[in-house]
Amino acid sequence: MIALIARLLCRRWSPLPSLLLIFFLIHLSVSSTALWAMKVELPPLTAAEHLGWQEKRFVGRTVYKAVQENGRDMLHASSHGTASGLFRAQKIDLRITPVLHWSWKVETIMQGLDERQKSGDDFPARVYVVAKGGLAFWKTRALSYVWSNSQPAGTLWPNPFTANAVLIAVQSGKQHLGSVVEEKHNVRRDWQRAFGEDPSTIDGIAIMTDSDNSGQAASALYSTPWFSEN
């Protein structure tokens, strides 16, 4: 592309000083590289059969289907005592693109749950990132951004099933219920807060709507997450 522009410039503006032309091309090259490096896109959640994502079933099957929400593609999730999610295995370099973006809309929340206990570990919407422990599989960790039923936004607590997973409430209860909310979170910074470690990469991302522990019902919509430099 840059070589083609150079040829066009030389043909149309041959008097242009060589030094100026070189400066222009270098600037264009650096800008283009930076633009591509700033954003990491994932396969659309709304693709047929969620192509590029793997379904992970825990209890039953949460129903995920593509819908239109105010003219934008989103994934609708409906859980009735079920827990299954969609997982994307992809290494993300947090030194370059540490910021995670997504949008979601919660339609229903669950009542009377203590989310710090196993019996209450259900959420209308979760987006979580995973870092593998390599051969030390017991070191695999997960950070889960949740729309909490009751915990105040900003609260952080360990998953009641494993010490290797931490949850962060980024939305809570009925506030913004029924509205699409845009989220933007620095995973590297949040990981440091959750685990006291400075990760260079993560290995996957997932979304899940679940209500298996309480037996209640929950529904939400998700956009496809993506990562950026800031």
For residues 107 and 197, membership in a common domain is answered with: yes
pLDDT tops 70 at residue 5: no
- pTM value surpassing 0.95: no
* Beta-carbon contacts of residue 7 (< 8 Å; ≥ 6 apart): none
For residues 126 and 14, membership in a common domain is answered with: no
Range scoring the smallest mean pLDDT among 23-27, 39-43, 164-168, 189-193 = 23-27
Alpha-carbon distance 225 to 138, whole Å?
27
Place 4 in a pLDDT band, splitting at 50, 70 and 90: very low
Number of separate domains in the chain: 2
Place 29 in a pLDDT band, splitting at 50, 70 and 90: very low
Structure confidence by residue, pLDDT tens digits, 138-156: 789 999 999 999 999 999 9
For residues 23 and 134, membership in a common domain is answered with: no
pLDDT for the residue numbered 10: 43
For residues 76 and 140, membership in a common domain is answered with: yes
For residues 11 and 109, membership in a common domain is answered with: no
For residues 119 and 54, membership in a common domain is answered with: yes
For residues 186 and 142, membership in a common domain is answered with: yes
Q: What is the mean pLDDT of residues 125-148?
A: 91
For residues 142 and 187, membership in a common domain is answered with: yes
Q: What is the mean pLDDT of residues 47-55?
A: 97
Alpha-carbon distance 171 to 131, whole Å?
23
For residues 128 and 208, membership in a common domain is answered with: yes
pLDDT for the residue numbered 110: 97
pLDDT for the residue numbered 114: 97
Domain encompassing residue 14: 2-37
pLDDT tops 70 at residue 94: yes
pLDDT for the residue numbered 169: 98
pLDDT tops 60 at residue 6: no
Place 215 in a pLDDT band, splitting at 50, 70 and 90: very high
For residues 19 and 51, membership in a common domain is answered with: no
For residues 46 and 15, membership in a common domain is answered with: no
For residues 69 and 144, membership in a common domain is answered with: yes
CATH of the domain at 202: 2.60.120
Place 133 in a pLDDT band, splitting at 50, 70 and 90: confident
Looking at per-residue confidence, does 213 or 12 come out higher?
213
Mean pLDDT, the chain, as a whole number? 88
